[in-house]
Amino acid sequence: MGVMTTTTTEAPTLSPADRCDRCGARAIVRAVLPGGGDLLFCGHHGRQHAAQLRQVAVEIHDSEGALADA
Ligand SMILES: [Zn+2]
């Protein structure tokens, strides 16, 4: 007891309404940041930032395997 718990939400899934923060294309990569914010990327920009995302993100949702070989 006494341990502060944070509300864990279901892993957010990407919907067609989610857009890449960089270019506005449909996002297929979501990177969750330590502060709780998140970044959305299309495959192109997800790959472009893959190395950086893996360093900073606490969780990466890669729904279509866009970063698999990035
Ligand atoms: Zn993009």
pLDDT digits (tens, 9 = 90+) for 24-47: 999 999 999 999 899 999 999 999
Is residue 13 a part of any domain in this protein?
A: no
Q: How many domains does the chain have?
A: 1
Ligand 1 centroid – CA 59 distance (Å): 19
Q: Give the residue numbers spanning the domain of 54.
A: 22-70
Q: Is residue 37 part of a domain?
A: yes
- pLDDT above 70: residue 10: no
Which is more confident, 62 or 3? Answer: 62
Minimum mean pLDDT range among 9-13, 23-27, 39-43, 66-70: 9-13
Q: pTM for this one?
A: 0.78
- Is residue 31 a part of any domain in this protein? yes
CA atoms within 13 A on the CB side of 32: 13
How high is the mean pLDDT of the chain? 87
Q: Identify whether 56 is part of a domain.
A: yes
Question: 66 near 29, Cβ under 8 Å?
Answer: yes
What is the CA(1)–ligand 1 centre distance, in A? 44
55: helix, coil or strand?
Answer: helix
In a domain, 14, yes or no: no
